[in-house]
Amino acid sequence: MQDKTKIHIFKGKSFSGKTTEIINNLLKKNSEDPLSYIFIGPNGNYVKNIREKCMSETESIISSNFFTIDQFAVTLYREANPDLLFIQKELILFEISKILSHTELKGISKSSNILEFLYKMINDVKENNGFENIFSDYEDSYISFLKKIFDTVQSKIENNKTFDTFDAYLKLSDCVDSVDFSKYGKTLFIDGFNDFSKAHQIFITTISDKFPEIYLSFPADTGKEKLFYGSQSFINIFNSLNKKTTAFKITGLNKQFFPDELSPFKTSLFSRNLNFQKSENIVVSEFKNKNDEICEISRIVKSMLIKGISADDISVVVPDDDLYIKSLEEKLEEYSVNYSTINENNIENSIIVKKILASFECLHQGFSTNSLMALFDSGYSKNPENARIYEKLALDAHIYYDYEFTSLENKKLDFKRKLSIHKKFLEKKLRSMEYNYDEEFGTEEIDQIKKDVEFIEKFKKDIDDIFSILEKINTGKININEYFSLMEELFKEIQKNEEFEEIFNFRTTKIEKDYVNLFFEKLLPDLEKALFHLGYDKISPDLFYEYLKIFIHSKKYYISPPISGRITIENTTHSRFNRKKFKFFIGFTDENYPKISINPFYSYLMYESDVPKDFFNRFEDQEKLNLYLSIINAEKKIFFSYPIQTNDGKPILKSIYIDEFEKFSVSEKTEYSNKNKKFVFCRKELENKLTKFFGTKIWDELRDNYDLNELENSLNKEKNEFEWKIKDLNSLGKNINNNYSFSKLNSYDQCPFKFFLIYLIGLKGEEKSTYELNPLEEGILYHNVLRDFYSGEDYKKSIEQNLNKLIDTSYKDIYDYEYTKHEKILNNYIFNKETKKIPNRPSSFIPEYFELPFGPKYNKLVKISKINLNGKIDRIDEDQNKLYLIDYKRSPNGDKKQLILYSLAVEILFPEKELTGGVFKPVKTEKNYFDNFKIQKDDDRIIWKFSRKEISKEEILNWIDNTHESISEGIYPPSFINNSKACFNCPFKNISYLMKWRNDY
């Protein structure tokens, strides 16, 4: 050992110039001899930062002189032990997983979080010189279990002739003399540390006497001892070095070089020497929810850029929350703000990688129906647009139920068998509905069944494609190196999907390309090497996927480096090394600041054992220090913001630090709401706001100032006042003819726009799959059973026969429930309600005609005024050439105009007979009848007399003519223009809400 190592210590507060002194001395050594020194920093970001600063000051610099402390420790230990192989963290996680898989806890052996906690526990034990120093006072089966894991992992590492980072720190002292330190120069620079772990302290003490000269920065602040708790770790190192007769030269740097605007705040922040000077450069903002917060911060950032502030001067510091980051990115893109996100990312966040692995996930779940159906959404289907329809068909065909574990081939056969059964049932149901129903809304349901039948055949073909992909991975053990090709093949498979381009090339997903490149170019090759190291030449797809999940979860990558000309999105850890003029700290809630976590495997000891207690305190202190360092790297203005509730209304606590920040802010806090958004900076919002000036005198000035030429061209095409009218009546004629049912006429009467959506565009409301009868099917059942009963058949047998056509009988419980329910309803109607007299109707009428269809389709033309009417009359009773009209309803809801139209049809169908009246008869409710009428003829005037209303033939013909004329002229305004409640229970009410929001009326 040399006589003395001279150590230069630069001790001072933050921003006192410690790092500047380190860099100046490093550059001096570099100019004398570029190979004469080594620089060590805490992490890759910091080391890169220092290296780049040095490179900007000199033309010649050797990048390999700069190490993180982990890299340098591993480099030295590997040189001292060339026969040992460095083992990555992921391999240790694999070993822990294998150990757990052979215990009673094998169910959690693949839990990424559990493995991470156990890995941390092992490192904590190493760093604290043995298991007993953490669990010293405890002896039970739980502690024994943890010790077994620790001992087994250590034994594996040693027996496999490997070492990890902590071995390099702690065991280097046993072999340090075999390292040739001359290749690393004579001077060691250490900077960027605010504290040293026990392992760091041991390592630095071990190597200190190998360098004649050491430069070290020592952060200390007499007013912030609690904040700079790590000062004690420096003192521990100095005490250890003193025993090696090391010479110290301490340079005190007491002056802080804070910018004037923020100096009082930074000096007093987290200090016992409080001096609360209010400043306009400290802004604290409270928001109703995360969405409001992100919108307003994005607006402020955009306004700063418009005012000429450089994007390079702005940083938004976000919590380690992927959803927060993603929401912020999307909103900034809306405002056309360029950004770069600097954050460690897991590849597991990638949408594309999730899609690639969906088939392996399906295999891992034993080909469960849920995971199989997920493949249609994941891009493995040639018809991605059908995924939602397939989901409905799978539910309707009972594919989601009654599955036991079986082979892939049997599952495929079972899928197709159940679909074939369901198809036969639908075809039977279709024949029944086509025979029994002729109304337009019934036609919609018939059309839907026809589509379902058609899509079942498409579904079967897509099932063949999906299962052919699964068969490729449903194999025994295969060579490790074959999995790369298999993943590439799966990637090519999803690239065939039309939606792939939308995801992969959309501007918000540039990061997706980075994820995919890292997955194939780095992660998979690293995994392959790791598995070979563990002794696998071949491995089953299921086990490969389990290891892959661990690897993906534990590996983190910096996806997007900082790019000039863009604002920076970063977490607190990165932000502490990044100096910016303006910093926004968003999401400043209790769950994020401080973000405290402790290993659950010994969290219960934190109040009883010193070491776990130290762990907990250290977590909180580290979080607070990281925050402080990030804050003091803001030079001009700092914004703190937090939401008080989630987007769905759940309360959120603000950070414990907010009260302290508010003491420095001019305003206690700034509350934002939609009302005080004075400025619009998003291009879309700008155009929406300025559109209202189109056609006015100031438009020309606005167009030139805001580059609105493209918008002007669009507005010129649509400048006519919106009239809810179709201009091209020729195209309208293809969809509209003179054939109408009451439902069709009444639909226009209720809401012309709804008529437009249904009959011209062909939209349908939300489809719901149920195993019970829907309202239309109930109506068919009641009509058919009553027809059969009055024709002399057994009504119970008719219920049974008709239910067999309308409901899937494979589920007996549902069938029995439906039979019992409807048998009771029909029994009450037939033997109770039918016996009750209807006013103005003689008892001598008897049922004569049932389910009587009319219209062009049945060659029974019923022309009323200018239209051909079609429909089906439920029942006509007769008494000596006198007729009485009855229309069944499930419930007491009907329109008098329907009875009148059917009356006019009866007169045409039975010209030799006289219709005297009619009524609605509800089947399900206790009410016996409603809207009964009689026909009165005075001179040439015909009147339908209801109990409280009279309607003449002239009125009904005018209604028909006016409705037909409006439909033919393409006039389709929404009813909510005149009636705000018109959209209640409408299947298209969301469309009306959107139109109201846009003020499109």
The pLDDT tens digits of the residues spanning 754-774 come to: 888 888 877 766 555 566 787
Q: Determine the Cα–Cα distance for residues 178 and 192; give it in Å rounded to an integer.
A: 29
Structural tokens at position 840: 């103005």
Q: Determine the Cα–Cα distance for residues 124 and 541; give it in Å rounded to an integer.
A: 34
Q: Determine the Cα–Cα distance for residues 147 and 758; give it in Å rounded to an integer.
A: 70
pLDDT the model gives residue 1000: 53
Classified as helix, coil or strand, 96 is helix
pLDDT the model gives residue 995: 66
pLDDT in tens, 845-863: 988 998 888 988 788 889 9
Is residue 622 a contact partner of residue 193, using CB atoms and an 8 Å limit?
Answer: no
Query: Is the dihedral angle over the CA atoms 181, 185, 187, 192 positive or is it negative?
Result: negative
Angle CA(822)–CA(827)–CA(833) in degrees, nearest 5? 115
Structural tokens at position 817: 């429930």
pLDDT in tens, 537-550: 899 998 888 888 88
In the predicted model, what is the mean pLDDT of residues 574-597? 87
- DSSP designation for 947: S
Strands across the sheet with 950-952, in order? 846-854, 871-879, 882-889, 914-922, 930-938, 941-946, 950-952
Within 13 Å, how many C-alpha atoms sit on residue 276's CB side? Answer: 9
Question: What does the DSSP assignment read for 676-737?
Answer: G-----SHHHHHHHHGGGTTSTTHHHHHHHHT-HHHHHHHHHT-SPP-SB-S-HHHHHTT--
104: β partners: none
Is residue 596 a contact partner of residue 128, using CB atoms and an 8 Å limit?
Answer: no
Q: How many residues does this entry show for the chain?
A: 1001
Classified as helix, coil or strand, 640 is strand
In the predicted model, what is the mean pLDDT of residues 817-830? 89
Q: In this model, does residue 698 exceed pLDDT 60?
A: yes
Give the DSSP H or E segment for 518.
helix 510-518
- The pLDDT confidence band at residue 535, using thresholds 50, 70 and 90, is confident
E-strand spans in 446-496?
478-479
Q: In this model, does residue 39 exceed pLDDT 90?
A: yes
314: β partners: 582
pLDDT the model gives residue 915: 93
Closest to 548 (Cα-Cα) out of 501, 604, 480? 480
Most confident of 709-713, 898-902, 925-929: 898-902
- The pLDDT confidence band at residue 877, using thresholds 50, 70 and 90, is very high
Q: In the chain, what's the furthest Cα-to-Cα distance?
A: 134
Q: Determine the Cα–Cα distance for residues 373 and 366; give it in Å rounded to an integer.
A: 13
Q: Determine the Cα–Cα distance for residues 399 and 459; give it in Å rounded to an integer.
A: 13
Q: In this model, does residue 404 exceed pLDDT 50?
A: yes
pLDDT in tens, 951-996: 999 999 999 999 999 998 888 888 877 776 667 777 777 776 666 6
In the predicted model, what is the mean pLDDT of residues 254-280? 80
Is residue 921 a contact partner of residue 888, using CB atoms and an 8 Å limit?
Answer: yes
Is residue 112 a contact partner of residue 548, using CB atoms and an 8 Å limit?
Answer: no
Structural tokens at position 502: 């939308």
In the predicted model, what is the mean pLDDT of residues 873-885? 92
Q: In this model, does residue 366 exceed pLDDT 90?
A: no
Is residue 575 a contact partner of residue 630, using CB atoms and an 8 Å limit?
Answer: yes
pLDDT in tens, 182-198: 999 999 999 999 888 88
Q: In this model, does residue 901 exceed pLDDT 50?
A: yes
Query: Is the bond preceding 594 in cis, omega lying within 30 degrees of 0?
Result: yes
Q: Is residue 1000 packed enough to be buried (19+ CB in 10 Å), middle (13-18) or exposed (0-12)? A: exposed
Alpha helices per DSSP H over 33-68: 44-57
pLDDT the model gives residue 397: 80
Output 500 or 896, whichever has higher pLDDT.
896
Classified as helix, coil or strand, 558 is strand
pLDDT the model gives residue 214: 94
803: number of Cβ within 10 Å:
19
Q: Determine the Cα–Cα distance for residues 963 and 545; give it in Å rounded to an integer.
A: 64
Give the DSSP H or E segment for 568.
strand 567-570
Mean pLDDT of the chain: 83
Closest to 29 (Cα-Cα) out of 175, 188, 178, 140? 188
Within 13 Å, how many C-alpha atoms sit on residue 341's CB side? Answer: 24
pLDDT the model gives residue 905: 94
Structural tokens at position 996: 């109201």
- The pLDDT confidence band at residue 844, using thresholds 50, 70 and 90, is confident
- The pLDDT confidence band at residue 608, using thresholds 50, 70 and 90, is low
- The pLDDT confidence band at residue 674, using thresholds 50, 70 and 90, is very low
pLDDT in tens, 327-345: 898 888 888 888 888 766 6
Q: In this model, does residue 19 exceed pLDDT 80?
A: yes
Q: In this model, does residue 913 exceed pLDDT 90?
A: yes
pLDDT the model gives residue 586: 94
pLDDT the model gives residue 611: 59
- Amino acid 338 reads N
132: number of Cβ within 10 Å:
13
Q: In this model, does residue 403 exceed pLDDT 60?
A: no
- DSSP designation for 675: G
Is residue 764 a contact partner of residue 987, using CB atoms and an 8 Å limit?
Answer: yes
Q: Determine the Cα–Cα distance for residues 377 and 380; give it in Å rounded to an integer.
A: 7
- The pLDDT confidence band at residue 20, using thresholds 50, 70 and 90, is very high
- DSSP designation for 589: B
Give the DSSP H or E segment for 536.
none
**720 φ, ψ to 5°?**
-65, 145
Name 497's Cβ contacts closer than 8 Å, sequence gap at least 6. 379, 380, 381, 382, 384
In the predicted model, what is the mean pLDDT of residues 59-74? 90
Q: In this model, does residue 783 exceed pLDDT 60?
A: yes
pLDDT the model gives residue 507: 43
Q: Determine the Cα–Cα distance for residues 10 and 946; give it in Å rounded to an integer.
A: 102
- The pLDDT confidence band at residue 137, using thresholds 50, 70 and 90, is low
Classified as helix, coil or strand, 433 is helix
- Amino acid 838 reads I
pLDDT the model gives residue 204: 93
Classified as helix, coil or strand, 175 is coil
pLDDT the model gives residue 917: 93
Q: Determine the Cα–Cα distance for residues 743 and 895; give it in Å rounded to an integer.
A: 10
pLDDT the model gives residue 76: 95
- DSSP designation for 837: P
**463 φ, ψ to 5°?**
-60, -40
Q: Determine the Cα–Cα distance for residues 345 and 323; give it in Å rounded to an integer.
A: 12
Compute and round to an integer the Cα radius of gyration of the chain.
Answer: 39
Output 81 or 273, whichever has higher pLDDT.
81
pLDDT the model gives residue 970: 87
Structural tokens at position 80: 């001292």
Tokens 């001072």 — which residue? 12
Q: Determine the Cα–Cα distance for residues 12 and 14; give it in Å rounded to an integer.
A: 7
Is residue 169 a contact partner of residue 200, using CB atoms and an 8 Å limit?
Answer: yes
Name 86's Cβ contacts closer than 8 Å, sequence gap at least 6. 74, 78, 162, 163, 164, 168
pLDDT the model gives residue 980: 64
478-479 and 538-539 beta bridge pairing: antiparallel
